[in-house]
Amino acid sequence: DCYNDSTGEGAAIASEGTSPYVFSWDTDQWIGDTITTLTKGLHTVVVTDARGCTASDTITIHNPDSLYINIIDSLTVLPYCMGVNTASLSAVAFGGTGSYIYEWDDNLILPQTTTIATNLLAGVYTVTVTDDKGCTAFDTRDIDTITNTMDADTVLISQYASTDSIGAVLDSNEVSCFGLNDGEVAVNAWGGHAPYDYQWYGPNSFSSVSSVITNLYAGTYSVTIRDTNDCTVNTSVILAEPLALTFNTSTVVDESCLGACDGEIFVDSIAGGVATYSALLTDNVTGVTTPHTIVNDTITGVCSGDYTVVLTDVNDCPSSVIVGGLNQQQVSTSVFTEADIQAIVDTICYAGLTGELTVDNPNTNTGYTYSWENANNPGQSIATTTTLSNLGAGTYMLLAGYNNIDGCIDTAIITITSLAMLNVTNYVVTDADCYGASTGEVAVTADPLGVTPYTYSWSTGATTATATTLSAGPHILTLTDSIGCEQDFTYQVSEPPAVNVNVVTSQTYILTANATGGTSPYTYSWRKQPSVTLGSNASYTVSSNGSYYVIVTDANGCEDTSDVILFGNTGLISTDGIALNIYPNPFKDETTVDFGRVIKEATITVIDVYGKLIETHKLESQDTYIIKRNTKASGVYFMEIEIEGEKSMIQKLIIE
């Protein structure tokens, strides 16, 4: 009856032979002369009589056309809105036998029986067609696209991706604190046919027509979104709020020392709010409020004081104390560290090391420690005593601690100041006029910006800004200001070379003076003892017996007197055999006359340059003789030495 069914029929009639007959079909079924289960195609039947004689024949079974049905996609009409039965499907059948009967599964009781099923919702539909032979075929379609989809999901409104769909996403902020109205909900619609209308409803008769609603209390808020085609979608959101934040405080840990701020307040029975929690401590004396962290139900970093405690959560929600609870706590301390520096000497001389600092009112109880550091090199202790001495200029830091607790350290800083170096802004050096003379002078002007008045101390003993009667050489000035700072200054006084004269004699009784040193030009004064002035030229001609010498004076008035030259009846007197040596010469206190051998007797007569007798010395059997200065003034003298009654000589003697 139907395409590829096993419902073909065949009938066989036997004649002749000996009955009865047995029929066998090629379906391997012995069913007699008639069969009704043949498939399409050629089939053979074999008949056997009572004597075993056989005969066969064939039959052809024909197959009808296959029955088909197809839902035509191009004729499908989609539903207009979600939940609206405006869709339709169209089907066409062909093949099979005779006329067709259609049946759709849109309604179990009264299904549609035409080629077109109308008034359909979105969904999966199957149509079945039956021909005159009872053969059937079916086709199925899923109406999975809606012209204007509306979905009531609370977060993602639209479940479909069609650009014609309408959908919405809800974004909400929960209420942050118990009883607060800071909740917010926003809906974002798309698809359909904009613009959209919104209608919100919520607790306490709340209503709004905005896409964003704010200042909301906790509760359920529902919204209806409607486009211009009057398609709608309904959804809702629940805004939650935390429980009321409550707490209680129990015990405290006191501050280890004043300023350490390491006290603790223990909190228990924390409930509600949104973790994490923090604390606000208000000092009941000063009114100052400070924030603190809570670690493992413990308020940390608390300084000593009397506090009112308030907790806040991550949303900064306020708190309240549980019934019978406590929010007043006092954190105490019995340890006080204070770094207070007393400057014994905080202004020092330039480059000095006389600074001195001490701890003012040090605490000598057990556990208290003091340490000094250079503020420019912190972390390196330079002393742990209460007094610090021999300090140079710089900034120093005192650390007062207790039992090496980090928070129990108080610091103080003080600076030791160095005065500027004492300075001489101007000086004038006047050199000595003559070699060995004490006529030099140094005059200084000290810096007027220093700590006046100044005192002056010269290495010569002078105590004024000008030092006089200075000999050649270095002279040291110690300049001292009014606070005792000292600075040494060295000045060099120079002198010209010593004037030196040497007399050369000739056989013609001419004496010639050769002058060196000093400052030229020179003047000459020839003398004959005792003190007769003879001439002023560099040469002089002797005209009579006697003792002659010359005084040479340079441009600065410096003088030198030559040795005495003796002339007798036989001419120039010889002093051979006498190795006379006078030392020291010049001298200050005493000088020694060394004859080079033992002299039986001698007379030493000392006269000044003017021929005046100063003193006479007699000696016997001596090789040396000491002449003391006694009361003789500084200057040039002559010694006339008569040896053993025969030999006489004159030597120059200089007393400083």
Q: Tens digits of per-residue pLDDT, 599-610? A: 888 899 998 887
Distances (CA, A) of 117 to 81, 88, 106, 126, 554: 18, 5, 8, 10, 154
Mean pLDDT on 8-24:
87
Report residue 200 CA to chain centroid gap: 56
pLDDT band for position 23 (cuts 50, 70, 90): confident
In whole angstroms, what is the distance from residue 438 CA to residue 441 CA? 9
**Pairing status of strand 245-253 against strand 319-321:** parallel
**Contact between residue 237 and residue 185 where contact means Cβ atoms under 8 Å apart:** yes
pLDDT band for position 555 (cuts 50, 70, 90): very high
**Contact between residue 426 and residue 444 where contact means Cβ atoms under 8 Å apart:** yes
pLDDT band for position 148 (cuts 50, 70, 90): low
The pLDDT of residue 544 is above 70: yes
Q: What is the dihedral of CA 376, 377, 383, 386, to 10 degrees?
A: 40
**Contact between residue 163 and residue 230 where contact means Cβ atoms under 8 Å apart:** no
The whole-number pLDDT of residue 158 equals: 29
> What are the residues whose beta carbons fall under 8 Å from the beta carbon of 113, sequence distance 6 or more?
101, 102, 103, 104
For the chain, the straight-line distance linking the first and the last C-alpha, in angstroms and rounded, comes to 170
Mean pLDDT on 506-520:
88
> What are the residues whose beta carbons fall under 8 Å from the beta carbon of 25, sequence distance 6 or more?
10, 31, 35, 38, 43, 44, 45
| Mean pLDDT, the chain, integer | 87
Instruction: Specify the 3-state DSSP secondary structure of 294.
Output: strand
pLDDT band for position 147 (cuts 50, 70, 90): low
The whole-number pLDDT of residue 157 equals: 30
Instruction: Mark out the alpha helices in 247-351 (DSSP H runs).
Output: none
**Contact between residue 642 and residue 573 where contact means Cβ atoms under 8 Å apart:** no
Q: Tens digits of per-residue pLDDT, 520-532? A: 999 999 988 777 8
Q: Is the dihedral angle over the CA atoms 190, 192, 194, 195 positive or is it negative?
A: negative
- The first and second tokens of residue 221, run together, are 């808020």
pLDDT band for position 545 (cuts 50, 70, 90): confident
The pLDDT of residue 371 is above 90: yes
Q: Which amino acid is at 61?
A: I
**Pairing status of strand 410-418 against strand 347-348:** parallel
Q: Tens digits of per-residue pLDDT, 595-650? A: 888 888 889 999 888 778 999 999 998 889 999 999 999 988 888 888 877 656 77
User: If we measure between CA atoms, which residue out of 79, 126, 89 comes closest to residue 104?
Assistant: 126
The whole-number pLDDT of residue 571 equals: 41
Strand ranges across the sheet with 68-71: 68-71, 87-94, 116-120
Least confident of 27-31, 212-216, 295-299, 515-519: 27-31
The whole-number pLDDT of residue 569 equals: 44
Mean pLDDT on 341-353:
90
Mean pLDDT on 128-157:
73
Report residue 485 CA to chain centroid gap: 41
Q: Which amino acid is at 535?
A: G
pTM given for the model: 0.43
Distances (CA, A) of 418 to 111, 327, 391, 421, 472: 114, 56, 11, 9, 36
Mean pLDDT on 417-440:
93
| Burial class of 233 by CB neighbour count within 10 A (0 to 12, 13 to 18, 19+) | buried
Task: Compare 500 and 563 and report the one with higher pLDDT.
Answer: 500
Q: Which residue has 């009589």 as its token pair?
A: 49
In whole angstroms, what is the distance from residue 497 CA to residue 522 CA? 14
In whole angstroms, what is the distance from residue 510 CA to residue 502 CA? 14
**Contact between residue 559 and residue 525 where contact means Cβ atoms under 8 Å apart:** no
The pLDDT of residue 160 is above 70: no
**Pairing status of strand 381-383 against strand 368-374:** antiparallel
In whole angstroms, what is the distance from residue 336 CA to residue 326 CA? 29
The whole-number pLDDT of residue 363 equals: 87
Mean pLDDT on 546-567:
87
The whole-number pLDDT of residue 169 equals: 56
Task: Compare 284 and 98 and report the one with higher pLDDT.
Answer: 284
The pLDDT of residue 272 is above 70: yes
Q: How many of the other CB atoms lie within 10 Å of CB of 485?
A: 23
> What are the residues whose beta carbons fall under 8 Å from the beta carbon of 546, sequence distance 6 or more?
528, 529, 566, 567
Least confident of 56-65, 107-116, 135-144, 306-315: 56-65
pLDDT band for position 190 (cuts 50, 70, 90): confident
In whole angstroms, what is the distance from residue 94 CA to residue 538 CA? 170
- Residue-range domains of the chain with CATH: 8-61 (no CATH), 68-143 (2.60.40.1080), 167-239 (2.60.40.10), 245-331 (2.60.40), 341-418 (2.60.40.10), 424-493 (2.60.40), 574-656 (2.60.40.1220)
**Contact between residue 587 and residue 652 where contact means Cβ atoms under 8 Å apart:** no
Distances (CA, A) of 504 to 60, 515, 523, 533, 534: 185, 11, 17, 19, 17
The whole-number pLDDT of residue 489 equals: 97
> What are the residues whose beta carbons fall under 8 Å from the beta carbon of 553, sequence distance 6 or more?
499, 522, 523, 524, 525, 559
Numbers of helices and strands, H then E, in the chain: 0, 54
Least confident of 25-39, 184-198, 206-220, 475-489: 25-39
The whole-number pLDDT of residue 149 equals: 55
pLDDT band for position 386 (cuts 50, 70, 90): very high
Mean pLDDT on 535-540:
92
The whole-number pLDDT of residue 166 equals: 46
DSSP assignment of 523-564, as one string? Answer: EEEEEETTTEEEE-SSEEE--SSEEEEEEEE-TTS-EEEPPP
- The first and second tokens of residue 496, run together, are 């010209």
Mean pLDDT on 129-138:
92
The whole-number pLDDT of residue 155 equals: 30
Q: Tens digits of per-residue pLDDT, 217-238? A: 999 999 998 887 778 888 888 8
Task: Compare 154 and 187 and report the one with higher pLDDT.
Answer: 187
The pLDDT of residue 16 is above 70: yes
pLDDT band for position 580 (cuts 50, 70, 90): confident
Cis peptide upstream of residue 584 (ω within 30 degrees of 0): yes
The whole-number pLDDT of residue 470 equals: 96
Q: What percent of the chain has pLDDT over 90?
A: 50
